Amino acid sequence: MLTTASQVEVLARFGRALADPIRCRILLALAEGPAYPSEVAESLGVSRTRLSNHLACLRDCGLVVSVPDGRRTRYELADERLGHALDDLCTAVVAVEADRTCPDAEEKGCC
Query: Domain of 29: which CATH number?
Result: 1.10.10.10
Q: In this structure, is residue 3 part of a structural domain?
A: no
Mean pLDDT computed over every residue of the chain: 86
**Structural domains of the chain, count:** 1
Residues 6+ apart with CB under 8 A from 101: 111
Give ∠ CA 47-41-62 in degrees, rounded to 5. Answer: 105
- Tell me if 20 sits within 8 A of 54, measured CB to CB: yes
Could you read off the pLDDT of 35-84 as tens digits, one per residue?
A: 999 999 999 999 999 999 999 999 998 999 999 999 999 999 999 999 99
Range of the domain at 56: 8-108
pTM, two decimals, is 0.79
Q: In this structure, is residue 42 part of a structural domain?
A: yes
